[in-house]
Amino acid sequence: MAIQKKLFSLILSMSILLSVASCSKKLSDETVPATTASVPVETVVETEPVTETTEAAPTPTEIVVGPNSTAVVTDRAVDKYGKLYVEGTHLMSSVTGEPVQLRGMSTYGLYMCTNFFNVDTIQTLTEDWGCQVIRIAMYTQGTSDGYIKNPEKYYNQACQITDMCIDAGVYVIMDWHILADGDPNMYKAEAIDFFQRYTAIYGEYDNIIYEVCNEPNGDCICNPGDKVNWDNCIKPYNEELIDVIRAKDPDNVIICGTSTWSHDVDIASMNPIEGEENIMYTFHFYAGSSGQESRDRVQAAMDNGLPIFCTEWGTTYDSGNGGPCIEESNAWMDFFYDNQISWCNWSIGGAAAESSNALLYMSNFLTIEEKLAGHWPDVFISPSGLYARAQILRELSPDFEGYYN
């Protein structure tokens, strides 16, 4: 935890100051929380006359940074698939009437992603990496900060990223990212307030998917002495948040967290939420820690009719470190591909030193300005990130080279 705090301070000191707009351009000022806008910083780039030079070949120890990536996918996911809906165990396209498998990236916790997400980085994820969905992981309690401590700050940040994703034509999972707070009922009032405000702005957009609790775990506050489980804590919470969202958004997809860090989809399938449409259930895994037994859980849930969305998975162990575990990741990716289960890889944008991070953010391969400009060269992408990018581009860009198998 101390290391994460130091890293958080470091990234703050390294970040470029960007202007902070009001939460969203979608509604008038009186409908969104007040915020204090910072003054944009102008960057002046001095140029020198161009002279012809002969560039020496790199020495064996020299790191070759380029070339930077370019767009390989031009289809906008929302234009291609339209409003999503759930039929049976599948996520469906209203354009084609066929099942859809969305593939994309999850942000790291927003409290560790200061200024990282901008028009250029979102464009890189959608066009260079082929992301059809971006999950906004808004921690309720991070190691140093989070929504509960600074609600207006992170509400505005979530809205700003949502706006950029809408403009880029990509789907957005708005993730109420509980973790240390275990029981989703701990901050249920804050969750209700957040989704009431968020749906007032974004409920009409086809881009939006809601994830109402990330990874329920630990002790149950409703029934002291009990552990958080599907029946006693999680299902009632999900049902209440569904009602909140449906008051302003009648039909966009809602993803419900499941027990044991969103792993027990088989348990949820034995007592599913009744009387609701366009509901899916969260499954998470890390390849080094979860193998065939976990896939059997997912299969059992689907056999019981439960629609699954894997909103978070990693190539590493469940600590976020080790790996990448390529062979086991391949088994999962093939399983998800065959069953058309949508997914988001963990994670991108944070400065924490986890093997699961897609970018080598703490490296000195690029300047801060270059990191925030997107179109990253492969040398800046971690082994986990190279693998995730290749799997996202699976069949989306047949000419793409670099499948990590």
| Spatial separation of the C-alpha atoms in residues 253 and 278, rounded to whole Å | 5
Distance in angstroms (rounded) separating the CA atoms of residues 159 and 196: 13
Of these residues, 127, 211, 215, 328, which one is catalytic? 215
Q: Would you call 215 a catalytic residue per the annotation?
A: yes
Percent of the chain that is helix, strand, coil (3-state, to 5): 35, 15, 50
DSSP assignment letter at 346:
E
Distance (Å, whole) CA 194 – CA 208: 15
Contact between 85 and 94 (Cβ < 8 Å):
yes
For 139, the 3-state DSSP assignment is strand
Catalytic residue among 312, 354, 395, 401: 312
Tally Cβ neighbours within 10 Å of residue 352: 19
- How far does CA 122 lie from the centroid of its chain? 12
Alpha carbon 367 to chain centroid, angstroms: 25
SS3 83: coil
Task: Look up residue 404 and give its two tokens.
Answer: 């990590």
Look at the block and give the residue holding tokens 């809408």. Answer: 166
* Contact between residue 347 and residue 337 where contact means Cβ atoms under 8 Å apart: no
Cβ–Cβ < 8 Å for 267, 238: no
Contact 148, 178 (CB under 8 A): no
The question of whether 312 is a catalytic residue gets the answer: yes
> What is the Cα–Cα distance from 92 to 390, expressed in whole angstroms?
23
SS3 85: strand
Taking a C-beta distance cutoff of 8 angstroms, is the pair 18, 40 a contact?
Answer: yes
- 3-class DSSP state of 99: strand
Q: What amino acid positions are annotated as catalytic residues?
A: 215, 312
